[in-house]
Structure 1
């Protein structure tokens, strides 16, 4: 079975991390295949939104430690970061389509940080998030030190990364780490509703919103105001804007095409 599965239907690309026997931990083959799959979703006009989910009990347990402790298989940490995780994070942030992490179980180490890099993170009530790096003498990677302090504040992020505490889905929601928690029994249905809604929205405007949010992490106020003006003009030239205005005037539901 492939370590990454892709299913596209009704504008939604469902990407499944598919190494359930290892709690969907990453090896080189899986990391490279995820990059390729994200590239396919980026260039496929039929895809309006992307969802990441894990097969089995876990979302993703991070790096497969058997790979890094194997003399034959170990690519080395520099290659793992520069060729595996960093390109994944870059793709998640630069693909101008909404990406939803549907955290169905434990998300640990790089698995947690890949989830937190997504545009919207939802979790099953039984899921958890762990900055597991300190437990084995490593530092956080996969942009964890970039996103987590911005999501929950410096002090909380520092403590979670140093202590390696497990954060329940409900606590993650309360901290502002994730968007929403769904009951385990209804998780699949609720996630489907969410991504289906996103797939019917004005994809171009959502992509430009994502670009603005990315820029807000580094821009001054004046720089952000300037790029907001530029991208608002660009979005106002889209087919979806024209459709949205016409639908409002005609008092009907808009039919967006993502253009």
Structure 2
């Protein structure tokens, strides 16, 4: 079904692996559309309770836009390329009502960094780095970086990273809040699997609505979020997992959540 990604589903988790190692998993139109399709498939499958995005190998998560492929095909409007391809991919991550984990196996540059930042949690290879390298070709960061980056690291640091395009290695990335965890590559799968295993047995509806309101909180005032908390808490109060969670608490046992 897919030519440029590997899409695997196992025991409640879906893994989307960018599979263009010859170009460091650079984003072609075809690759972007496959990622988006796989995200939407995983999002709508009730048996999938967590999504992982990663790249093939140890070298690169994603090196950004495949400029050579774009030039070979005759470069279309950059704005239209974002509207038609990149933006739907980013929206698919943010609109997924389940956790999306970035397994940052290697470098993430340009739109590859944007792809990583759009995920809910980033677990990184400590030898990787990130770079908003757009300024080096006379462009500005896109695919959501201008939204996510200042909210993660603050306006001043975001401006510095965007305007210099310098490499951010994982010690710094961890320190400034760009990634959640950084481990040696040999320990990367273990760290990702531990988190995914937590999500696979969690109250998925709770996490989905939590993510939805957190998205809204970035552009809402306190009164609006207080109301969203009330509306969505009412919905969660009618779920199987709430009833199970309360019963498990009273019976002093581990809750058996079903994601419903």
Q: 1:164 and 2:165 equivalent?
A: yes
Residues 1:225 and 2:226 are matched in the alignment: yes
**165-174 vs 77-86, which moves further:** 77-86
1:117 aligns with 2:118: yes
Shift in Å, 1:46:
1.0
| Offset at residue 73 of structure 1 (A) | 4.9
> 1:65 matched to which residue of 2?
67
3-state secondary structure, aligned to 1:69: helix
Question: What aligned pairs does 1:237-248 form with structure 2 within 5 A after superposition?
Answer: 237-248=238-249
In structure 1, the partner of 2:48 is: 47
1:187 aligns with 188
Is the Cα–Cα contact under 8 Å of residues 21 and 56 in structure 2 kept in the other structure? yes
C-alpha distance in 2 between matches for 1:255 and 1:62: 41
Structure 1 SS opposite 2:122: strand
CA distance in 2: counterparts of 1:48 and 1:236, whole angstroms: 20
Residues 10 and 196 in structure 1, CA contact (< 8 A), matched pair in contact too: no
Partner of 1:175: 176
Aligned residues: 258
> Is 1:106 equivalent to 2:132 in the alignment?
no
Contact 1:68 1:76 in 2 (8 A): no
2:182 is paired with a residue whose SS is strand
Cα distance in 2 for residues equivalent to 1:250 and 1:183: 40
Aligned equivalents of 1:25 and 1:76: distance in 2? Answer: 19
Counterpart CA distance in 2 for 1:3 and 1:74 is 21
Q: Deviations over 1:119-172 (max 9, x none)?
A: 111101111110010011111101111110010000000000000110011211
Report the equivalent of 1:196.
197
Q: CA RMSD in A?
A: 1.1
In structure 2, list runs of 5 or more residues that go unmatched.
none
Name the CA distance, whole Å, in 1 between partners of 2:3 and 2:48. 21
Normalising by the residue count of structure 2, what TM-score does the alignment of the two structures yield?
Answer: 0.97
Give the corresponding residue for 1:86: 87
Q: Corresponding residue for 1:149?
A: 150
The alpha-carbon deviation at position 196 of structure 1 amounts to: 1.4
Structure 2: distance between partners of 1:138 and 1:128: 20
The answer (yes or no) to whether the contact 2:123–2:188 under 8 Å persists in 1 is no
Query: Which structure 1 segments of 5+ residues have no match?
Result: none
1:254 is matched with 255
- Any idea what the Cα deviations from partners look like across 1:178-226, whole Å, max 9, x if unmatched? 1111222211111111111111100000000001101101111100101
In the alignment, is the contact (CA less than 8 A) between 2:126 and 2:170 conserved in 1? yes
TM-score (norm: length of structure 1): 0.97
Provide the C-alpha distance between the structure 2 equivalents of 1:95 and 1:27, rounded to a whole number of angstroms: 22
